[in-house]
A and B are shown apart, each in its own frame.
Chain A
Amino acid sequence: MTVDWPTALPLVFASLMGLAILIYVVLDGFDLGIGILFAAANDEEKDAMIAGIGPFWDANETWLVLAVGLLLVAFPIAHGTILTALYLPVFALLFGLILRGVAFDFRAKVPPQRKSRWNAAFFAGSSIASLAQGYMLGVYVLGLQPGWPVVLFGVLVALCLSAAYVAMGAAWLIYKSEGELQVKAVRWLRHALIVTALGMAAVSLATPWASPRIFEKWFALPHLFWLLPLPLISGVLFLWLFALTFRLPAPGDRHALTPFLILATIFALGFAGLAYSFYPFVVPDRMTIWEAAAAPESLAIILVGTAFVLPVIIGYSFYAYRVFGGKAGDLRYD
């Protein structure tokens, strides 16, 4: 069997990019969520929360660099089209990420009286970055069109994605913290979960309504039947998680990691739904992945490297997570 590389390579890279975005959203999602939750935490809790993400955030953010890097290298034309259309939201995202990233380090090193200033910057940066990501997702879902309805929808998705990140952050905290903070985190998770569910429902309904093509893909028979499990499983997981929040923290700290894993699964399912909707377009309804792809020989040389390096990256990332596993209180700062 011969492989048609010019057809296969853009597909492979679209999948890789999707994977990088999904990993980014799950991993940096909890970092950003914890940043937003700074608004509701006292000073002692803030230190514990930072300890829970301290060793990871840098590597987590690198997945965003990989995702945008893959967009840039594999789909150079789409990269320019998408990023110029989203000029200001991208700027807001970068502004937020800069603020978040440096506040993280500054807050631990400046004179104590200035610490609260950097705590505020950490909250602001995390919020701005989350909102900007949600807004961009909303505008992208509606095909990067101008107009007020699109802006409003973008704002709606911005709020819902931020809520989803808050849920991720709270779920991570349940795993990383103990005592009062853990109880608080369970409550945070429950509240954020409601908004997250509404948001996912809104995006799921808006996407087919905004594009007849996507409507056709979902609701034409027989597609509907084998796509139905996607929303159904998500719904069941949401309900299970919601019910679980009334039983946590459990004796012996059982199920501490379960909420995070359930949420990650929900994210993955939602992401799969989006990916199915947009395939084969990289700029919705305008540019397919084959139209936007870089030269096959360039893609091939990246793929060779990726095939070797990506498993190694995932391997040592697991190692790092294992080294810093368990409660964040175990991180000794004394």
Chain B
Amino acid sequence: MEPDAYLLSRIQFAANISFHILFPTITIALGWVLLFFKLRYARTSDMAWMRAYFFWVKVFALSFALGVVSGVTMSFQFGTNWPGYMERVGNIAGPLLAYEVLTAFFLEAVFLGIMLFGFRRVSSRVHTLATFLVAFGTTMSAVWILALNSWMQTPAGFEMRDGVAHATDWWAVVFNPSFPYRLVHMLLASGLTVAFLVAGLSALRWLMGDRSEAMWKALRTGLALGAILIPLQILAGDQHGLNTLEHQPAKVAAMEANWQTRGNVPLVLFALPDENARTNRYELSIPDGASLILRHSPDGVVPGLDDFVAEDGTALHPPVMPVFWGFRIMVGTGIVMLLVSWVGVWFVYRRAVLPRPLALVLVPMALSGWVATLAGWYTTEIGRQPWLVTGVLTTREAIGPVPGGQVGFTLAVYLLLYASLLVAYLGTLVFLARKAAAAGDESPLPAVADSSLNQPLAGE
């Protein structure tokens, strides 16, 4: 029996894009953090800033490479697995992707070389400029990709002619209703991911006995960044949710596991949504909570999932369980981030110490940004189903003719490859931390014999 190519292709794309997003999430914000380190060094001439730069630029290079190769893979998978996508909406998706490659991808890829290896070859000013251009390039990449993703969620500025989408207003295509919210939400998510990665890896170095000034500088930067960004993110997330309520009510209904359209909807803290019985089991909830959050009034009406069922009983809303839980994991992680970063800032800035228990909490929190980002993307992407482009193209319509057996084979190899790369990546981060911790402020600046891709050293 031939396995189901549709299901396997979906799993494959999900695996690919989940693996991919881990790395841009890091590089988008880490580029700016590196620029910050570089500018601090330029202003203070304090070598510790440069040591922090040299350590984190290695993390950047590694993350960037993983992001590039998994991104290239995705651009091919549009064609190999989802040819219906470009056939139907290629006139819109095409230019957005083209502008991403032209204005962002090349910029970052070319200046990355100068940023990584050019410290000796160009003036410090040009090196700083290269760092800026790489950071700017990664951010522009995110802008274009999020414009396209948002257009798929809330399409605008187009008309259908002979079953093919044609743009009528490019401004409306790019600035479609959910784009500004999604962009801000994602850029803040990237900032938080990096904040906790920097703080967590610095805490790991501290636990390994590192008391170097470079470690402290990175730790303080990470904690402060997290503490500043998390309240902003909560605000941005709330606004994004209200935007989704307006444009994709079925998604919000699934996020809240709310079955009937009504007022006084409770905020469900825990439940196992049951799509067959169309009710929640083991529900634990706060009365009026969802109405208050979404309508800012206890008797505000929140849409229910039962409104999105066809007459023959097929669900026109997304699967409830993953959207409901994805959303809760994201929000839960955000709350922990708030607590940890504020407590951390208080200790590190006010008392200038890092208590051991706090360090032990910060280390696993290094990956909290990944958890929240993935959970959030699962919420919004699964929440778009059964549509690939809302109201224009269903995911099933886009599938190509490749037999399921072949997709199953490639999926198995991809999963194996991604799992090994993830283990290697995390292992390497720990190894780099250990090496930096062992060297402390005495680290040779910055290279050793085994590092032919490292930074050339600062003039000494």
Contacts and interface: CB of A to CB of B under 8 A. Distances in A.
Interface of A: 47, 50-51, 54-56, 58-59, 61-62, 64-66, 68-74, 76-77, 79-84, 86-88, 90-91, 93-95, 97-99, 101-102, 104-112, 115, 294-295, 297-298, 301-302, 305-306, 309-310, 313, 316-317, 320, 323-324, 331-334
A301 B113 CA distance: 30
A104 B97 contact: no
11 contacts: A66-B102, A76-B86, A80-B86, A84-B401, A87-B406, A87-B410, A90-B79, A98-B69, A295-B91, A320-B111, A324-B117
Interface stretch (B164-172, B185-193, B247-255): B164-172
B76 A90 contact: yes
Contacts of A76: 86-87, 90-91, 94
Contacts of A73: 90, 93-95, 97-98
Interface in B59-112: 61-62, 64-66, 68-73, 75-76, 78-80, 83-84, 86-87, 90-95, 97-99, 101-103, 105-107, 109-112
B349 interface: no
Indicate the member of B58, B98, B413 with the most A CB atoms within 10 Å: B98
B102 to A, nearest CB: 4
A65 B98 contact: no
B291 to A, nearest CB: 43
B457 A334 contact: yes
Contacts of A82: 79
Given A54-B453, A65-B72, A333-B452, A105 B61 contact: yes
B95 A301 contact: yes
A112 B447 CA distance: 14
A105 to B, nearest CB: 4
Interface in B172-228: none
B166 A72 contact: no
B65 A101 contact: yes
A297 B167 CA distance: 8
A332 B456 contact: yes
Contacts of B78: 72, 79
B113 A56 contact: yes
Contacts of B101: 62, 65-66, 69
Nearest to B170: A301
B166 to A, nearest CB: 5
Given A294-B90, A313-B102, A90 B80 contact: yes
A316 B110 contact: yes
A45 B248 CA distance: 58
Interface string B436-452: 00000000000100111
A333 B454 contact: yes
Contacts of B80: 83-84, 86-87, 90-91
Interface string B381-404: 000000000000000000011100
Contacts of B454: 108, 333
B411 to A, nearest CB: 10
Contact of B73 (A81, A94, A317): A94
Nearest to A47: B452
B365 interface: no
B118 interface: yes
A64 B72 contact: yes
B76 A54 contact: no
Nearest to A300: B95
Contact of A51 (B111, B166, B452): B452
B68 A58 contact: yes
Contacts of A59: 106, 109-110, 112-113
Chain B interface: which size bin?
Answer: 35 or more
Contacts of B166: 295, 297-298
Contacts of A99: 417
Nearest to A315: B110
A294 B96 CA distance: 14
A55 B79 contact: no
B121 interface: yes
A-B pairs, 8 with minimum CB distance: A80-B83, A73-B94, A55-B113, A83-B79, A76-B90, A108-B453, A76-B86, A101-B69
A333 B68 contact: no
A240 to B, nearest CB: 32
Given A84-B79, A309-B103, A295 B164 contact: yes
Contact of A55 (B62, B91, B118, B428): B118
Nearest to B16: A94
Given A91-B80, A305-B99, A72 B92 contact: no
Given A61-B72, A105-B62, A332 B113 contact: no
A97 B84 CA distance: 25
A74 B98 CA distance: 10
A260 B320 CA distance: 58
B432 interface: yes
Given A62-B109, A84-B83, A110-B428, A305 B102 contact: yes
Contacts of A90: 76, 79-80
B453 to A, nearest CB: 4
B347 interface: no
A69 B97 contact: yes
Contacts of B452: 47, 50-51, 54, 108, 333
Contacts of A84: 79-80, 83, 400-402
A320 B432 contact: no
A326 B371 CA distance: 45
A94 B81 CA distance: 14
A58 B112 contact: yes
Nearest to B165: A295
A58 B113 contact: yes
Indicate the member of B61, B106, B427, B451 with the most A CB atoms within 10 Å: B106
Contacts of A111: 431
A124 to B, nearest CB: 12
Nearest to B66: A102
A74 B71 CA distance: 20
Nearest to A323: B121
B130 to A, nearest CB: 9
A106 B110 contact: no
Given A62-B109, A333-B454, A305 B66 contact: no
B94 A95 contact: no
Contact of A108 (B401, B413, B424, B450): B450
B235 to A, nearest CB: 34
B167 A298 contact: yes
Nearest to B74: A94
B409 to A, nearest CB: 8
Nearest to A78: B79
A87 B94 CA distance: 21
Given A50-B453, A61-B72, A69-B97, A109 B400 contact: no
Nearest to A83: B79
